Every structure is written in structure tokens, then in C-alpha cells.
């Protein structure tokens, strides 16, 4: 969060409330000045009322600077850093492995991911009844968290990709066909299946081997 918004947290000394006052005082200011006695009727109305209350308070003379808050902020605004383009992600973060069923298990439910990610550890971010699944920083899929437990949540595109990959492997490697000495079945239309490259020799070579074997047996007998 500090890196996202560009500030550096510092450790304050123990029992030194004057050091932490700049951080804790605004919380007390909003709580005691706005929330105490406020009748909550909805988030949108509360936000509008709070903005209106802050606009009114910014016109007051500050006790420390002795000038209006809005005037002070207008003078300091040009030297303040820019806010990031997106809000900080406050969702719950978890790491989960992809099991052999092509799914990650999170809070009693299973969520399907591409079969090519089996064995990897993915990042899950959960917030507002949704779970986002990342491979490093790449978003893979977003699922709605089901109301009931023990559910298997999937997208049809992941199932189709798995089936297509299985069919491709079956056609490529001839899954289910008998193997022969580890040789793959050829798919060429001009070469027969299990074609082997055999060296062509003259029959005299075999006669010479036979004569040599006979001589060896006679020497052993002698």
C-alpha cells in the first residue's frame, strides 16, 4: 500500500502521542464531528453528507495554522504528489496449487483453470463475492463465489480446450495403439506403419560369421 500511494511509513517512539497526532487526529475529528449522532440511511447518502460536511469544515480557521483549511490546501496542492490512476487492491490474497482435476481449491469450493497450469501455484484475490485467479500478474479468470459450499465452478472454454488437447494427443501419438520397441507409429501415407531402416548386407557376411563360429567351437573342444 505504501508503494502504491508513494509514502514511507516510519516507526514512532513509544509513548510519544504527539508524533502520531497527524495520523490519528483526523479519525477522531470525523468520528466525533460527523458520525456521532448521524442517522445512517444508506452508503450513497452518507458519502454525499460527508462530502458536504467536509466542504463546510474546510472554511473554518484552523487552530494551528490560523488560516482557512481550503486556503492552505490550495497553496500546498501544487507540490503534492499525484494520486495513482487506480485504487489500491484491498481484496483477500491467497496462494493455491492447481491440482490434477485442473482446479484450485478455495474455501470449500473448486474453481477450474486451464489444464496447462496443473502443478503451478496461482494467486487468488477474493472480494465482494467474487474471486479472481492470477498466474503471476496475468488475470486468468474471474468467478462469482457460489452461495452453497462444495461447488465446482468452471467455464466451458477450459473444458473445450482440455478435450481438444486430448484429441490432438490421440491423433498425434496414436493413443491406445500397441507399441513396438518404443517406436512411434508413422503417419506417412507412403511408408508402412512401424517401418524400420534395415542395413542391406551381402550373404557372404553371414557365411563368414558362421565359419568363424565353427572354428571357435573346434578350438574350445581341442
Boundary residue ending a domain (159, 189, 207) = 159
User: What average pLDDT does the structure give for the chain?
Assistant: 84
112 and 58 housed in the same domain: no
The pLDDT of residue 176: 46
Burial class for 134, CB neighbours closer than 10 Å (0-12, 13-18, 19+): middle
The pLDDT value recorded for residue 204 is 82
Secondary structure of 61-121 as H, E, C letters: ECCCCCCEHHHHHHHHHHHCCCCCCCCCCCCEEEEEECCCCCEEEECCEEEECCHHHCCCE
**Shared domain check, 62 and 106:** no
- Residue 222 in domain: no
- Domain of 105 in residue numbering reads as 97-159
Q: Is the dihedral of CA 106, 111, 113, 118 positive or negative?
A: positive
Stated pTM of the model: 0.53
Domain identity same for 63 and 105: no
Domain termination residue (choose one: 159, 174, 202): 159
State whether 66 and 105 are in the same domain. Answer: no
8 and 75 belong to one structural domain = yes
Domain co-membership, 112 together with 63: no
13 and 52 part of one domain: yes
Residue 200 lies in a domain: no
pLDDT at 63: 83
Do 67 and 106 belong to one domain? no
Residue 181, phi-psi category: left (phi > 0), alpha (psi -120 to 50), beta (remainder): left
Residues 14 and 58 in one domain: yes
Would you state the cell numbers that stand for residue 141, as one nine-digit string?
A: 479468470
The count of structural domains within the chain is 2
Q: Is residue 90 part of a domain?
A: no
Q: Are residues 14 and 74 in the same domain?
A: yes
123 in a domain, yes or no? Answer: yes
Asked which of 79, 111, 145 is the last residue of a domain, the reply is 79
In a domain, 203, yes or no: no
Residue 63 lies inside a defined structural domain of this protein? yes
Asked if the structure places residue 38 within a domain, the reply is yes
Give the tens place of pLDDT for each residue, 29-64.
888 899 999 999 999 999 999 999 999 999 989 888
Domain-located, residue 186 = no
Beta carbons of 113 and 139 less than 8 angstroms apart:
no
Residues of the chain with pLDDT under 50: 176-178
Same domain, 104 and 68: no
Q: Are residues 62 and 109 in the same domain?
A: no
Amino acid at each position: 500500500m505504501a508503494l502504491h500511494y508513494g509514502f514511507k511509513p516510519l516507526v514512532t517512539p513509544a509513548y510519544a502521542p504527539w508524533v502520531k497526532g497527524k495520523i490519528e487526529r483526523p479519525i477522531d475529528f470525523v468520528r466525533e464531528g460527523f458520525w456521532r449522532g448521524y442517522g445512517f440511511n444508506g452508503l450513497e447518502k452518507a458519502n454525499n453528507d460527508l462530502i458536504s460536511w467536509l466542504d463546510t469544515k474546510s472554511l473554518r480557521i484552523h487552530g494551528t495554522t490560523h488560516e482557512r483549511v481550503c486556503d492552505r490546501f490550495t497553496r500546498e496542492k501544487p507540490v503534492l504528489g499525484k494520486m495513482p490512476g487506480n485504487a489500491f487492491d484491498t481484496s483477500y490474497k491467497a496462494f493455491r496449487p492447481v491440482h490434477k482435476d485442473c482446479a484450485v481449491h478455495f474455501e470449500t469450493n473448486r474453481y477450474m483453470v486451464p489444464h496447462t497450469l496443473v502443478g503451478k501455484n496461482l494467486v487468488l484475490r477474493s472480494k465482494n463475492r467474487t474471486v479472481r485467479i492470477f498466474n503471476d500478474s496475468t488475470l486468468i479468470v474471474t468467478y462469482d463465489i457460489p452461495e452453497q459450499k462444495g461447488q465446482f465452478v468452471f467455464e466451458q472454454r477450459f473444458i473445450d480446450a482440455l478435450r481438444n488437447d486430448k484429441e490432438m494427443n490421440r491423433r498425434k501419438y496414436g493413443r491406445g495403439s500397441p507399441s513396438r520397441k518404443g517406436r512411434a507409429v508413422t503417419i506417412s501415407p507412403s511408408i508402412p506403419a512401424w517401418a524400420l531402416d534395415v542395413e542391406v548386407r551381402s550373404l557372404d557376411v553371414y557365411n563368414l560369421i558362421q565359419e568363424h563360429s565353427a572354428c571357435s567351437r573346434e578350438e574350445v573342444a581341442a
